[in-house]
Chain A
């Protein structure tokens, strides 16, 4: 079945540092790809998505590009803020989403 591998956290950065959270997946065919974010004490919410190869999803300064050749969807942000501290989930999916284990990001001032 479909599966996804995310880099383990926590990822600890200083404010304004560059962020990369790696995500690779295995799937039959070409799923849509999603990044969800969970802020402390809240439910998950969609951060960005890409539905076909070479698409770039972006939102709130975060970006991720659908790489069919490497089956990857790495999340990046050029300059993180303290308010970006959260848990980030990568999720490829066909009829149902398969979530990664989540990567906790901690940003210090």
Chain B
């Protein structure tokens, strides 16, 4: 079974802490994505990556950074967490070539609460 695994389902952090959200996929996919999901706003793209060591900003990159040192792993980093980053974070991956020909595979999500 294909799988996207997010390291933590639930996290509680303090304002100003550095937060790492890890995502691993076992499908040898080139493309990986980080979204956040908020009520009434749907999914918004934070960052994505088409290849190892490559990253591109999505629609809401402010306050976030990412790392893709290995093909299977895509990390989302909150350098200094703030309360407005309390959200559900979803990682996804897709196969090579044109994203449009395939589907996104999502992890189960990481619910982050920043106090």
Which residues of A line the B interface, CB within 8 A?
A: 31-32, 34, 36, 41-46, 49, 51, 89, 93-102
Contacts and interface: CB of A to CB of B under 8 A. Distances in A.
12 contacts: A34-B103, A36-B104, A43-B109, A89-B42, A89-B43, A96-B48, A96-B99, A97-B99, A97-B104, A98-B45, A99-B44, A102-B43
Nearest to A99: B43
Contacts of B104: 36, 44, 46, 97
Contacts of B103: 34, 46, 49
Interface in B76-115: 90, 92, 99-101, 103-104, 106-109
Interface of B: 4, 33, 35, 40-45, 48, 58, 90, 92, 99-101, 103-104, 106-109
A99 B42 contact: yes
Contacts of B4: 43
A51 B99 contact: no
A31 B92 CA distance: 19
